Structure 1
Amino acid sequence: MWTLTADKEWAQLEKAFDWVRDMKSTPQDARHHAEGDVAVHTQMVLAELTELPGYQRLDAQSQEVLWAAALMHDIEKRSTTVLESDGRITSRGHAKKGELSVRAWLYQHTNVPFEIREQIAKLVRYHGLPLWFFEKQNPERAILQANLEVNMLWLGMLAEADSRGRICEDQADLLYRNGLFKSYCEELNCWERSFAFPSDLGKFLYFRKEDQAPDYEPFDDMQGEVILLSGLPGTGKDTYIQKHLAGYDVLSLDDIRRRLKIDPTDAKANGRVIQEAKETAKGFLRKKQPFVFNATNINRSMREIWIDLFTSYGAKTKIIYLEVPYRQLLWQNKNRAYPVPDAVLARMLGKLEVPALWEAQEVKYVVS
C-alpha cells in the first residue's frame, strides 16, 4: 500500500516537508479563516476529515490518498497569497497551481503509482468546486468534467472537511453548498460512478459545443485519425513510434526545428516551426491521411489548439500520453541524441498537465 508518510504527527510533517513548513508563514483572510494561517487550517481539515463517517468507511489505501490530498490541498497558497489594497488577503489560482506542484513533487520525490498521484493532484485542483460550482457559467459541464478526472465521493469529503476545518461566520452556508453538490451529482448520476456518455464522440463534442446535451448521441462522420503524443522529453516517444506506430507518417516539431536549425528556446523563430507544422498537418488532413503528431504537448491549451485544427478537418484525435519513472526520465534524457538541459526539463515538469479523458475522443496512458 502506498502512503505519503507513516508518521502523521504535525511536528514530524514539518521536519519532513518544506512545503508543510511554508504553511506556517502563509496568512489567510480572517473573514474566511479566523483560525489563523494555512498550517492551522490544514491541521483542522485533517482532524475533521478523519472524523467523517464516510472517510472511516473507506479502505486503507483510499484513506491514504484522501489524507494526502487534504494535507496538500492548499500547498500553493504560499505562492499565490497577496494582500489586496482594501486589506483583504486572497490566494487566487492556488488550486490550479497546486495541482501542478503536487504532480511534480510527488513524481520527483515519491514512488507513488500514476493513478494515485493523479487522484491526489486532481483533488487539490478541484477541492473548491463543491463550494462554487453553481457560480460556474455551466455548472453541469463543470461537474461532468471533474467527474472524468476525480472521485466525486472523495471530493465531497475533502470539501466538507475543508469547510469544517475553519472558523468563519458562513460555515453553515458552506456545508449547505456541499450538500447541494452531492445532490446535483446524484441527479447527474455521477456521484459514486462515472457519467455514462453515449459514446466517445458524444463525450468529446459535449465539452466542445455549448448547446449539446451530455446524453446526445451524434452521428459519427469523422474521417482520418491523428495520434497526438504527449510527454516530457526523455519519455521515449520516438521509441514508441518505432515499436507501435511504424506504419504512420510522422509530423515532428523537433525534426522541423533541426532542419531549420532553430533553437527550441527561440520563441520568435519557433513561430515559423509551428506554421510549417500546421501546413504539413493540413496536407495530411485534406487527404484524410492518418498521421502521428510528435511533440511534448504537455500544456493543455497548446493541445487544444492542435486538436481544434484536427477537428476542423473532420479528423478523430487520439492522445497517447507517455511517462516513465523520474530517475529513468533523467537517464533517458541525458542519453538522447539531443538532451534537454536539466533546468529546462525541471521547468517543463512544473508545467505538466496530464491529458484528461475529455480532451479527445480517446486518451491512452502508457505509464511504466
Structure 2
Amino acid sequence: MLWSFPHCPNETDWSINWPALEAEFNWLRSLADCPQDPRYHAEGDVLIHTKLVYEALVALPQWRALPATERSVLFAAALLHDIAKPASTQREADGSITSKGHVLQGAKMAQEILWDLHVPLKQREAIVALVKYGSLPLWFWDKPNPERAVIKASQIVRCDLLSLLAEADVRGRYCNDQAQLLERIDFFREFCQENHCFEQPRMFPSAHSRFVYFQKEDGNPNYEAYDDTRLQVVIMSGLPSAGKDTWIQENLPDSLVISLDELRQKLGIDPEDDQGVVTNAAKAIAKEYLRSGQSFVWNATNLSRQLRCMLIRLFASYQARIHIVYLEAPWPELLRRNRDHPAKVPEKVLYRMKNRLEVPDITEAQVVDWVVLG
C-alpha cells in the first residue's frame, strides 16, 4: 500500500486545502505571528512563508512529475521545514530577527511529529533529512569541502529532491536576492551532477571504500580502499524493547554478545545512574575479542551518532568491519513491551531516550540495516 501525507494534492486536484491542514495540525498554526527579518522575508510571518513555499512547490512541474510517495515526502518537508522557528526566533540588539539553530531543532521536531503520525520509517527519515539538509543547495559552496558535503547528503537524501525544496523555499519568500539564490540552486544541481550524486547516491568502488571515505575529511571518492578487515562487529541500535534481543536470537544465535543490559544487572547499576562503569566493563570485554580477532555483537541502545562514532572508531582501529542494525517498533507497541518487561525502563526515561534518538545512516558503517518489528 502506497503511503501519502494527509491532504497532499494529486493529479486529480492540485489545489491546497489550507483549512484542512491547519485544522489537523496545531503545530502548523503555531507558525502564525512568528516574525521574520524583512530583509530576507518581506512576505511576513513564518506561516505566510510556509503557505507561499507550498504554493511554489505544488506549482513546480518537476514536483508534479514525481511518483505520488515522493510528492508526499516533499510536501511534508515543505510543511515542516521551518517548524522550529517559533521556538528559536529572537530579536537581536540591533533590531534584526534571527532563528539560530532552527534547522537542527526542526529536524528533531519533525521526527517527533512524524513518528506520532505513524509515518513509515523510510518516508519519515527522508522527510527529516530534507528538513535537515534543506538549505544545503544555497550554502554548499561555503562548506570547507563542498564535494564531500554533497556526496554525504546524497547518501541520506536525494539531492534532486533537496533542490526542489530549496527552489520552493526561495520562490516562497520576498527578498532582493531571489535571483541570486535561484542561481545558487542551479549551481548546486550542476555540481551534484558532476559528482554523480544528483538523482541517486554517489556510488563507491565498495562498501569498505565508502566507509573509509567518510572516516576522513579529505578522502577521494574514487579511491578503492584495500579491505583489511579481519572480524565483524554488529552494533545494535534502538530504543529499549524495540526487539534487539529477539533479533539477535533469530539472526545471530551463535554469536558472542556483549550486552550492556546484562552487565548493568550484574553490576547492580540502575538505568538512571551514571553508566560509565558499565560502558568501561563492556569495552574491556570488547578489546579482548578484538585483539583475538573474534567477531561479536555489541548490544545496547546506541541512540546517538556521537556515541556510535566513538565505538566505531575503537572497533575499526582493530580492523573490524562494522554492521549497524537499527530496530524500531511502533511507539504504543514499544510502551506495551516495556511495561511487560521484567527489567522495564521508567517511561519518563524512555521518552527522554526517544527525544535523543538519531537513526543511523549509511555513512556510519560498511553495512546498515533498518528493521521495523511489530
Category of TM-score, reference length = shorter chain: over 0.9
Corresponding letter in the other structure for 2:61: P
Once residues 28 and 218 of structure 2 are traced to their aligned partners in structure 1, the CA distance between those partners, rounded to angstroms, is: 44
Corresponding letter in the other structure for 1:350: N
Corresponding position of 2:73 = 65
Instruction: Tell me the CA shift for residue 349 of structure 1.
Output: 1.5
1:183 to 183, 190, 207: 190
Instruction: Tell me the CA shift for residue 82 of structure 1.
Output: 2.3
Matches within 5 A, 1:224-303: 224-267=231-274, 270-303=275-308
Instruction: Tell me the CA shift for residue 291 of structure 1.
Output: 0.6
1:107 to 103, 106, 115: 115
1:17 to 25, 32, 56: 25
2:352 is aligned with 1:350: no
Corresponding position of 2:13 = none
2:194 is aligned with 1:194: no
Corresponding position of 1:328 = 333
2:150 is aligned with 1:140: no
Corresponding position of 2:219 = 212
Corresponding letter in the other structure for 2:164: M
Once residues 349 and 298 of structure 2 are traced to their aligned partners in structure 1, the CA distance between those partners, rounded to angstroms, is: 22
Matches within 5 A, 1:85-124: 85-110=93-118, 112-124=119-131
Corresponding letter in the other structure for 1:147: S
Give TM-score, length-normalised by structure 1.
0.96
Instruction: Tell me the CA shift for residue 116 of structure 1.
Output: 1.2
Corresponding letter in the other structure for 2:66: L
2:10 is aligned with 1:5: no
Corresponding letter in the other structure for 2:4: T
Corresponding position of 2:132 = 125
State the Cα deviation string for residues 213-234 of structure 1 (Å, max 9, x = none): 0010011111111100001111
Once residues 344 and 24 of structure 1 are traced to their aligned partners in structure 2, the CA distance between those partners, rounded to angstroms, is: 33
Once residues 355 and 279 of structure 1 are traced to their aligned partners in structure 2, the CA distance between those partners, rounded to angstroms, is: 25
2:90 is aligned with 1:82: yes
Corresponding position of 2:314 = 309
State the Cα deviation string for residues 124-170 of structure 1 (Å, max 9, x = none): 11101100111111111111111011121111100000011001111
State the Cα deviation string for residues 29-72 of structure 1 (Å, max 9, x = none): 22111111110100000000011111121122221121111111
Say if 2:7 and 2:17, in contact at 8 Å, map to a contact too: no
Secondary structure of 1:179's match? helix
Instruction: Tell me the CA shift for residue 196 of structure 1.
Output: 1.2
2:174 is aligned with 1:167: yes
Once residues 97 and 83 of structure 1 are traced to their aligned partners in structure 2, the CA distance between those partners, rounded to angstroms, is: 18
Once residues 101 and 121 of structure 1 are traced to their aligned partners in structure 2, the CA distance between those partners, rounded to angstroms, is: 9
Once residues 285 and 101 of structure 2 are traced to their aligned partners in structure 1, the CA distance between those partners, rounded to angstroms, is: 37
Secondary structure of 1:195's match? coil
CA RMSD of aligned residues (A): 1.4
Corresponding letter in the other structure for 1:44: L
Corresponding letter in the other structure for 1:6: H
Corresponding position of 2:61 = 53
Secondary structure of 1:148's match? helix
Structure 2, unmatched stretches of 5+, are 9-15
Secondary structure of 2:234's match? strand
Corresponding letter in the other structure for 1:253: L
Corresponding letter in the other structure for 1:220: D
Secondary structure of 2:370's match? strand
Instruction: Tell me the CA shift for residue 317 of structure 1.
Output: 0.8
Give TM-score, length-normalised by structure 2.
0.94
Residue range with higher mean Cα deviation, 60-69 or 162-171: 60-69
Instruction: Tell me the CA shift for residue 302 of structure 1.
Output: 0.6
State the Cα deviation string for residues 277-335 of structure 1 (Å, max 9, x = none): 22111111111111100111111011001001001111111000111222211211211
Once residues 126 and 211 of structure 1 are traced to their aligned partners in structure 2, the CA distance between those partners, rounded to angstroms, is: 21
Once residues 25 and 262 of structure 1 are traced to their aligned partners in structure 2, the CA distance between those partners, rounded to angstroms, is: 48
Instruction: Tell me the CA shift for residue 16 of structure 1.
Output: 1.4
Corresponding position of 1:152 = 159
Instruction: Tell me the CA shift for residue 108 of structure 1.
Output: 2.0
Structure 1 runs of 4+ with >4 Å offset: none
State the Cα deviation string for residues 223-256 of structure 1 (Å, max 9, x = none): 1111000011111111111111111111122222
Residue range with higher mean Cα deviation, 293-302 or 9-18: 9-18
Corresponding letter in the other structure for 1:210: E
Once residues 4 and 50 of structure 1 are traced to their aligned partners in structure 2, the CA distance between those partners, rounded to angstroms, is: 14
Corresponding position of 1:366 = 371
Once residues 7 and 56 of structure 2 are traced to their aligned partners in structure 1, the CA distance between those partners, rounded to angstroms, is: 19
Say if 2:257 and 2:298, in contact at 8 Å, map to a contact too: yes
